[in-house]
Amino acid sequence: MWQAIKVWGLRKYYRYSSARAWRDHLDSSDWNALEIPGPAGPIHARMFSDHSRDDRPLIIYFHGGGWVIGDLDTHTPFCQVLHQRSGCNVIAVDYRLAPEHPFPAGPDDCLAATRWIAQHCGDFGSNNQRIVLAGDSAGANLASGTCLEMESSLRDRIAGEVVIYPVTQHYSAEFPSYTERATGQMLTANFMFWFWDTYLDSLDPGSNRAARAFVLASEALASLPPTFLVTAEYDPLRDEGIAYRDKLCEAGVDVQYLHFATAAHGFACSEGPNENFNAMMTDLVAWLDELT
């Protein structure tokens, strides 16, 4: 009972805080609802397409929220701004959440949605028939995981990935930032412990079944496309994001890396427009300009 109340309350608060942060900063809230075939029924999604250009890739976006509390509503403002500033169509995917649907429901939905969208690129307005997979936090984990699992026949469609303060490894790896940045920002180390435990449910993180959740440990990193990777200083996930950058570079992946020394986890998607957000968006749009 306590778990259900906690999940309900955090989801409600996240929607409220996101709406408050972005209030008065958006021109409109126009989007089109989509239903995508999924492994357990339709996957709901929202498409932002009124400012699209035919020389831009189609962005598939997976929201953050620890695989538990985020949703389409919490990230609609960010996706709208991403669409407006980049000129890319953006499809935000509403994958299943824990605890109702623990791992691997979320990754299964994201992979199924990406496969289907890749096969129907021409149905989604103006784009160059290429895809960028993107996400923040837990959604960044899902974006990278989806890239790693895409079959070769569709992988050529993926022009790049955008991973914003990503989750890349289980908390048992004991990165120093879990201690150094345990508190003092919205995402605390204790929240990440709870998110991981809720997401994996009773699954042993050391088991073979759980391995696909830990993208940092993947042996297929060299298969990833050009990557735009962001970390924040005030974030328990800081060091695993930096470690991910290092491993991608070692694997020969083209990485554009930004670290925001004055920012906390959530600055990009949950705080509304700010100086760090605008700097990140400027560099992200320039990176998208260079993708082929």
Find all residues with CB under 8 Å of 23, minimum gap 6, and list them. Answer: 272
CB 172 within 8 A of CB 155: no
Handedness of CA 201, 202, 206, 209 (dihedral sign): negative
Kindly name the residue from 137, 177, 218, 270 that is annotated as catalytic. Answer: 137
Find all residues with CB under 8 Å of 276, minimum gap 6, and list them. Answer: 260, 262, 263, 267, 268
Kindly name the residue from 94, 235, 239, 270 that is annotated as catalytic. Answer: 235
CB 69 within 8 A of CB 11: yes
Q: Among all chains, which residue has been given the structure tokens 């509304």? A: 272
Closest CA to 232 of 181, 171, 160: 181
* 259 is a catalytic site residue: no
DSSP code at position 42 = P
Could you give the dihedral angle defined by the CA atoms of residues 266, 268, 272 and 278, in that order, rounded to the nearest 10 degrees? 150
Kindly name the residue from 63, 75, 83, 265 that is annotated as catalytic. Answer: 265
* 202 is a catalytic site residue: no
* 137 is a catalytic site residue: yes
CB 114 within 8 A of CB 146: yes
Find all residues with CB under 8 Å of 247, minimum gap 6, and list them. Answer: 216, 221
Positions marked catalytic = 137, 235, 265
